[in-house]
Structure 1
Amino acid sequence: MDAARLASRVNLLGPWLRRVMGGPARKISLDPGLGCPHRPEGVGPGGCLYCPPGGSGPGRGGTLSEQLEHGLDRLRARRGPTPRALAYFQAYTATNAPAQVLEPLFMEVARHPAVAGIIVATRPDCLPPATWELLAELARRRPLWLELGLQSAHDATLTRINRGHDVACFDQALAQAHARGLRVVAHVILGLPGEDMGHTNATARHLAQGGVWGVKLHNLMVLAGAPLAHEHRAGGLALWNQEEYARAAAAFLARLPRRVLVHRLAADPGPDRLLAPGWAADKDAVLRAIAQAMEEDNLRQGDLA
């Protein structure tokens, strides 16, 4: 019921996938073992404030082929028609290697007959020219989109969360993707330290002007092992409540053009990792709150774009 309430007001990814893929589609998370250039063991100064040791992906063992087959087995075991498989290079930074290293990894997956599409999650500062050409070639073989972390369109916030790049870096990467006809999904976190709804509304307007294909919204969370956990324990971190997040998400969506696909509206943390806020553990309740906020304010995606 909540999905129907949201779908009447928001351009959600699910219906688009069913139209384009000819049926339901599901992601298979893959970990190519490339790590992140912004982690202590890499060349960066320590990672993002909110990022736990395991990164954003769940982490998988085995070769890519083994991970892919395991995911396909799970899809085949589902009741009803087998969903189309979307190979999701999710863990850490999926382009954190030279193009000659990435090519056999990506092409191994692209050649698999069961893969209907490919998703590559990365940082805007980890895309040298040769990697752009590789991604363009990959997109000629399979439908592909690129997930790029922005988090906020405010440089002061990016510095505060130790993001390791500025807004201009994201904008430059978006322009490179547009030049090659590549779809970009921007990652954004609402409720970052020092930000209010005015900041998040401005981030929405920035993405609208930049012409992103999709957006992924996350609520700020404190996860075990993340640097943010130290601030939380010290009592120096103010987290939004569920209503504040829902209102901000509704206002954000109203400032996105209707054509932008919304890939996610709330984070889906593992219960073993979530330290705060407690309300983030119930994703269905968060989605209900967003739907209610949009209904109460009579907002639809694009109304204020």
Structure 2
Amino acid sequence: MHRFYGLAARLRQSFGERVQKIPLDFGFTCPNRDGHLSREGCIFCSPQGSGSGLHKLSMSIPDQWSHWQEKLSKLYTAKLYLAYLQSYSNTYCSREELKCALDQLNGLPGLAGLCIGTRPDCLDNEKLALIKNLGLKETWLDLGLQSSNNATLERINRGHTAEQFAEAVQMAHGHGVDVCAHLIAGLPGESKADFLESVRFLNELPIAGIKFHNLFVGRGTPLKKLYDAGEFTPIGKDEYIEALVEAISILRTDIVIHRLKADAVPGELVAPEWVRQKRIVLNEIEQAMKKKEIWQGCARPDAPDEPPLWYGPSGSLPATSRGALPGALNPFGKRV
């Protein structure tokens, strides 16, 4: 039984074969780091902005692509790839600069789609139209929310509000660009109830995907200062799994789950140690869902009697259900 709608299933449905992501570093920065909003960044963000750092090595985009393609080809049988613009905020620029960056993707061997990591305050209609007009079969906007609680967003120095995030999602949806929202469990001052409320907030927006993250302490981050001072305790493994499984149970059935836990790059992690145990944690998540008979959306009032067929790679989500708007009918004739 497939208990949730994962990205691997979605990509198999789109392309009929395995697809891998290749991270690309274009050298963009972030308004939360260049002084426009702040120079500290979000309290959890590493100095590298979650990127590879290859741009600082003067490596061109084609060379970065070849570098990762060679590495991935030894691990997987994939021949198709999604370009993942991962480092910092990849639409924090003019339309012309964004077009110049995206033009560098032309001709990359095996390019099948695109994922663009950015912030809700770095988008406009012109940039979204440019992204949509690339005409790729899969185009995702990785958009950080982290929490729907504005007090939390201020506490973690996000530099935007939940309302700004919602406006950016609606704008992207209007252009036909799929949004993958990022959400973090274990943020300072937040409880499981706050985390679940953020899931409900996202359910009411036309998002098409979600990434779940557990907050960990990384080197060089403002969060490490709080941790060293004894002012922050990371979320425990069991606590995270409990919150995640409950979050999945209330998540809309059409939303693609891109990630179930956060991972630290080598040398970055300070705490907690369980973050290193990726395979163990994923297995425990699976076992917890089986034990509690949980599957994505099962606790929703509009839940079907069993997991939908599209949770598996051979299924197919009805086109009218992707990123369903609040109040729209879902595939089961019920209100979202």
TM-score range (shorter-chain normalised) is: over 0.9
Where does residue 49 of structure 2 map in the other structure?
Answer: 55
Residue 78 of structure 1 deviates from its aligned partner by: 4.5
The answer to whether structure 1 residue 177 and structure 2 residue 192 are counterparts is no
Hey, what's the Cα distance between the residues in 2 that align with 1:88 and 1:263?
13
The answer to whether structure 1 residue 29 and structure 2 residue 23 are counterparts is yes
Where does residue 67 of structure 1 map in the other structure?
Answer: 64
Where in structure 2 are there 5+ consecutive unaligned residues? 301-336
Give the partner amino acid of 1:55: G
Where does residue 131 of structure 2 map in the other structure?
Answer: 135
The answer to whether structure 1 residue 115 and structure 2 residue 111 are counterparts is yes
- What CA deviation, in whole Å up to 9, does each residue of 1:64-108 have, x standing for no partner? 1211122223344456x4431111100111111111011021122
Where does residue 193 of structure 1 map in the other structure?
Answer: 188
Point out 4+ residue stretches in structure 1 off by more than 4 angstroms.
none
Residue 143 of structure 1 deviates from its aligned partner by: 2.5
Q: 1:250 to 1:165 in 2, by over 3 A?
A: same
2:67 is paired with a residue whose SS is helix
Give the partner amino acid of 2:41: G
2:141 is paired with a residue whose SS is strand
Where does residue 99 of structure 1 map in the other structure?
Answer: 95
Give the partner amino acid of 1:69: S
1:16 is paired with a residue whose SS is helix
Where does residue 301 of structure 1 map in the other structure?
Answer: 296
2:282 is paired with a residue whose SS is helix
1:109 is paired with a residue whose SS is coil
Where does residue 4 of structure 1 map in the other structure?
Answer: none
Written as runs of structure 1 = structure 2, the 5 A alignment for 1:139-288 is 140-288=135-283
Give the partner amino acid of 1:297: K
Hey, what's the Cα distance between the residues in 2 that align with 1:78 and 1:214?
26
Hey, what's the Cα distance between the residues in 1 that align with 2:17 and 2:46?
35
Residue 110 of structure 1 deviates from its aligned partner by: 4.1
Give the partner amino acid of 1:250: V
Hey, what's the Cα distance between the residues in 1 that align with 2:172 and 2:133?
12
Asked if the contact 1:271–1:281 (Cα under 8 Å) also holds between the matched residues in 2, the reply is no
Where does residue 43 of structure 1 map in the other structure?
Answer: 36
Where does residue 10 of structure 1 map in the other structure?
Answer: 4
- What CA deviation, in whole Å up to 9, does each residue of 1:252-272 have, x standing for no partner? 111111211100000111241
Hey, what's the Cα distance between the residues in 2 that align with 1:211 and 1:250?
22
Hey, what's the Cα distance between the residues in 2 that align with 1:295 and 1:154?
31
Where does residue 311 of structure 2 map in the other structure?
Answer: none
- Please, what TM-score do these two structures have when normalized by structure 2? 0.84
- What CA deviation, in whole Å up to 9, does each residue of 1:18-54 have, x standing for no partner? 2212211111100000111111x34121210111111
Give the partner amino acid of 2:61: L
Residue 215 of structure 1 deviates from its aligned partner by: 0.4
Asked if the contact 2:181–2:209 (Cα under 8 Å) also holds between the matched residues in 1, the reply is yes
1:246 is paired with a residue whose SS is helix
Where in structure 1 are there 5+ consecutive unaligned residues? 1-6
Hey, what's the Cα distance between the residues in 1 that align with 2:212 and 2:299?
18
Asked if the contact 2:196–2:247 (Cα under 8 Å) also holds between the matched residues in 1, the reply is yes
2:200 is paired with a residue whose SS is helix
Residue 12 of structure 1 deviates from its aligned partner by: 1.1
Hey, what's the Cα distance between the residues in 2 that align with 1:295 and 1:82?
30
Asked if the contact 1:110–1:142 (Cα under 8 Å) also holds between the matched residues in 2, the reply is no
Amino-acid identity (%): 37
Give the partner amino acid of 2:44: Y
RMSD: 1.5
Q: 1:58 to 1:116 in 2, by over 3 A?
A: same
Q: 1:22 to 1:266 in 2, by over 3 A?
A: same
Hey, what's the Cα distance between the residues in 2 that align with 1:44 and 1:193?
21
Asked if the contact 1:30–1:64 (Cα under 8 Å) also holds between the matched residues in 2, the reply is yes
Q: 1:290 to 1:78 in 2, by over 3 A?
A: closer
